[in-house]
Amino acid sequence: MKIIAINGWKNSGKTSLVERLTAEFIRRGFSVSTIKHAHRNFDIDQPGTDSDRHRAAGASEVLVSSPHRWALMHESREGEASLEALLDKLSPVDIVIVEGFKGTTLAPKIETRRRESAAGDSLARHDPQVIAVATDEPSSAPTDPPEFNLANEKAIADFILQSFKTSLPLATSETGLSAMPPGVDWMPVDIALSRLRETINVSVGASRIKVTEADGRILAHDVRVLRSSPPVTNSAVDGYGFRFHEIYSAKPECTLKLIDGRAAAGEPFDETVWDGHAIRVLTGAPLPKGVDTIVMDEFSRIDEAGCVHFKSPKKCGENTRQAGEDLRADDLLFEASRLVRAPDMASMMAAGLSKVWVRRPLRVGLISTGNELVSKITAVTPHDFTIDANRPLLKSIIARWGYEAIDFGIVQDKESNVCETLDQASQSADAILISGGASSGDEDYVSRLLMREGENLAWRIAIKPGRPLALARWSGIPIFALPGNPVAAMVCMLIFSRPALHVLAGGRWCEPIHFMMPADFEKIKKAGRREYIRARMNQAGRIEAFHSEGSGLTTGLSWADGLVELSDGAQTISRGDQVRYLPYSSFGL
């Protein structure tokens, strides 16, 4: 986790800046947690609530849970907890924003300052940890530390991300969060993803198709309800319908005269049911005039005189489905960029839609490079040649994501061949995945071509497996230059290509769902790179890791059912420790 502290005097805009920075980092694809320091006693409970009474009774900890969140309150009887102790309580995230804790040396600090309400001297003059000042009146001349407009959270966020890479305060130097291999400028995963996200936009057109053909497609426009559902108020059960009166609820039992006829789905009863009478009503039938409540068959009986007897209803409208209860005409049903699923098709049909605007499928070009690669083994294939596993792997993943794969085959390690194939692919594909040749060896023409003739976005990204990995453009077409080893190629495709391709296809940037799970393995991780370990959940509900981290072992991909993500810094994982587990299903596999 990378840590940034926001400090300042009272009413200097700290909380507002934390709020906007949190939203900005999340918009860029980072996960964020915050820690707030208070100078006086405070309580997240309202006085007199049940949990407040638990605390007052002497409970050491009170865990409060609701359908929306849970919060664990710990009664500190040993004095105020240190920032280090509080950080240990957080689940792993990309960025932690700390508000307050002026005296901490654990993180670089941004000082907030309002000129008209400054309560004292600038903190920046006395604290070497302050790396920038956010103020409502920034100086037009260069300052040390630099000053930013307090309202410009984008510029402040850019500066913070850059500071994570270049400055090494205690929190990052000791844990290695910013450590990179010596002598080489490696780009952290978060910055590479942020840069990629800012440069990717939808690249496919739209067409209007039948709703019944829209499964797996991405909506190009907002979808609104054309017809309310249910279109009219109807019965939810088989039973007897009547008009509710408040007087009924005061009686233990009701007796009503049953009239001739019935109401059924598709066979409405067109006459009026008068007070004191009831009518036979079947499930789905529009309620006849004069009927607003239904009693179920199971709770009623008919006597020889043609009267229906039942316990008095508690409220009007029992056992009915109101018109528009599910969908109301003109309401927004789905927003553009939504990936249509089978349940969505049912909702659109119920809303009266017959056609919908969707994006055409994204076309993804696949290229493998390497003189040693072959598509299959024949009787004359040299023994030292390698079967290309990457294109079948990537092609299968692309199909699962609903895209169209265009296979450009294997390209020999010759610069003119690689250049020609990239030119060809850029003419027919919306994005290109090329595996191999992204390193810096004599035969690695891909990286050289992208830097010399393409638009290079990121190279040498600090990820394992996956180094090297290049993100670029060729003739305006996004290119993901993946590693040659299948494991590294798949990991990089899931982490970088998946969210970017989804945006190109008309969707929104998507983050994999993760779960914090207990580890059933041990590992000592060095600082410097974000690591992804092939893993799976065992019958004990713990996460076990594949026995080898070799990026050429495809058996590990099949053995696993997900990945464990380890942060950039150094880590020691023992059995039972919580780890960040990303199942394959969270990547759409």
Residue 470: predicted pLDDT:
77
Residue 37: predicted pLDDT:
82
Q: Last residue of some domain: 482, 504, 526?
A: 504
- Mean pLDDT lowest for which of 96-110, 170-184, 412-426, 474-488? 170-184
- Mean pLDDT, residues 121-148 taken together: 78
Question: What is residue 494's DSSP assignment?
Answer: I
Backbone angles phi, psi at 587, to 5 degrees: -100, 10
- Mean pLDDT, residues 350-369 taken together: 94
> First vs last Cα of the chain: how many Å apart?
28
Residue 544 corresponds to which amino acid?
A: E
Q: Is residue 188 part of a domain?
A: no
CB 320 within 8 A of CB 287: yes
- Mean pLDDT lowest for which of 148-162, 168-182, 313-327, 564-578? 168-182
In sequence order, the 6+-apart residues with CB closer than 8 A to the CB of 272 are 288, 289, 290
Report how far residue 41's alpha carbon sits from residue 429's, in angstroms, rounded to the nearest whole number.
Answer: 60
Residue 165: predicted pLDDT:
58
Q: Is the same domain home to 163 and 219?
A: no
- Mean pLDDT, residues 245-272 taken together: 85
Residue 176: predicted pLDDT:
34
Residue 322 corresponds to which amino acid?
A: Q
Q: Is residue 267 part of a domain?
A: yes
Which has the closest alpha carbon to 435: 452, 458, 423, 418? 418
Q: Is residue 510 part of a domain?
A: no
Residue 584: predicted pLDDT:
95
pLDDT band at 452 (very low <50, low <70, confident <90, very high): confident
Percentage of the residues of the chain whose pLDDT score is greater than 90: 44
Q: Is the same domain home to 307 and 343?
A: no
Question: What is residue 10's DSSP assignment?
Answer: T
Residue 246: predicted pLDDT:
61
Q: Is residue 492 part of a domain?
A: yes
Q: Is residue 544 part of a domain?
A: yes
Q: Is the same domain home to 469 and 352?
A: no
pLDDT band at 362 (very low <50, low <70, confident <90, very high): very high
Which has the closest alpha carbon to 37: 101, 96, 85, 88? 101
Q: Is the same domain home to 134 and 255?
A: no
Report how far residue 237's alpha carbon sits from residue 251's, in angstroms, rounded to the nearest whole number.
Answer: 23
CATH number of the domain residue 355 falls in:
3.90.105.10
Residue 313 has pLDDT above 80, yes or no: yes
Place of tokens 């594909």: 429
Q: How many residues does the chain have?
A: 589
Q: Is the same domain home to 161 and 76?
A: yes
| Mean pLDDT of the chain, nearest integer | 84
Percentage of the residues of the chain whose pLDDT score is greater than 70: 88
Residue 346: predicted pLDDT:
93
Summarised one tens digit per residue, pLDDT across range 483-528 is 888 899 999 999 999 999 999 999 999 989 999 999 999 999 888 8
- Mean pLDDT, residues 415-438 taken together: 88
In 257-389, where does DSSP find H-type helix?
342-350
Q: Is residue 71 part of a domain?
A: yes
Residue 249: predicted pLDDT:
62
Residue 172: predicted pLDDT:
32
Q: Last residue of some domain: 440, 473, 504?
A: 504
Q: Is the same domain home to 247 and 264?
A: yes
Residue 39: predicted pLDDT:
63
CATH number of the domain residue 545 falls in:
2.40.340.10
Residue 439: predicted pLDDT:
52
Report how far residue 455's alpha carbon sits from residue 477's, in angstroms, rounded to the nearest whole number.
Answer: 10
- Mean pLDDT, residues 539-553 taken together: 87
Q: Is residue 255 part of a domain?
A: yes
Cβ–Cβ contacts within 10 Å for residue 324, how many?
17
CATH number of the domain residue 98 falls in:
3.40.50.300
Residue 181: predicted pLDDT:
40
Residue 119 has pLDDT above 60, yes or no: no
Place of tokens 């207990």: 518
pLDDT band at 241 (very low <50, low <70, confident <90, very high): very high
- Mean pLDDT lowest for which of 39-43, 146-150, 459-463, 532-536? 39-43
Q: Is the same domain home to 569 and 440?
A: no
Q: Is the same domain home to 169 and 92?
A: yes
CB 473 within 8 A of CB 326: no
Report how far residue 436's alpha carbon sits from residue 474's, in angstroms, rounded to the nearest whole number.
Answer: 16
Q: Is the same domain home to 222 and 299?
A: no
Q: Is the same domain home to 389 and 457?
A: yes
Coil, strand or helix at 550: coil
Place of tokens 């659109």: 348
Residue 146 corresponds to which amino acid?
A: P
- Mean pLDDT, residues 316-330 taken together: 92
pLDDT band at 138 (very low <50, low <70, confident <90, very high): confident
CA–chain centroid gap for 509, Å, is: 8
Question: What is residue 443's DSSP assignment?
Answer: T
Query: Of residues 374 and 396, which shows the higher confidence score?
Result: 396
- Mean pLDDT lowest for which of 9-13, 225-229, 321-325? 9-13
Residue 125: predicted pLDDT:
61
Q: Is the same domain home to 221 and 248?
A: no
- Mean pLDDT, residues 275-291 taken together: 94
CB 313 within 8 A of CB 249: yes
- Mean pLDDT, residues 295-323 taken together: 91
Report how far residue 526's alpha carbon sits from residue 261's, in angstroms, rounded to the nearest whole number.
Answer: 80
pLDDT band at 43 (very low <50, low <70, confident <90, very high): low
Q: To which H or E segment does residue 308 belong?
A: strand 307-311
Coil, strand or helix at 17: helix
Residue 418 has pLDDT above 50, yes or no: yes
Domain total in the chain: 5
Residue 582 has pLDDT above 70, yes or no: yes
Q: In the structure encoding, which two tokens stand for residue 102, read together?
A: 């002026």
Residue 231: predicted pLDDT:
92
In terms of Cβ atoms closer than 10 Å to its own Cβ (0-12, 13-18, 19+), residue 273 is buried
Domain around 567: 515-587
| Bridging pattern class, strands 95-99 and 2-8 | parallel
Q: Is the same domain home to 474 and 544?
A: no
Q: Is residue 196 part of a domain?
A: no
- Mean pLDDT, residues 356-380 taken together: 87
Residue 237: predicted pLDDT:
95
Residue 456 has pLDDT above 80, yes or no: no
- Mean pLDDT lowest for which of 106-120, 217-231, 496-510? 106-120
Buried b (16+ CB within 10 A) or exposed e, 470-508: bbbbbeebbbbbbbbbbbbbbbbbbbbbbbbbbbbbbbe
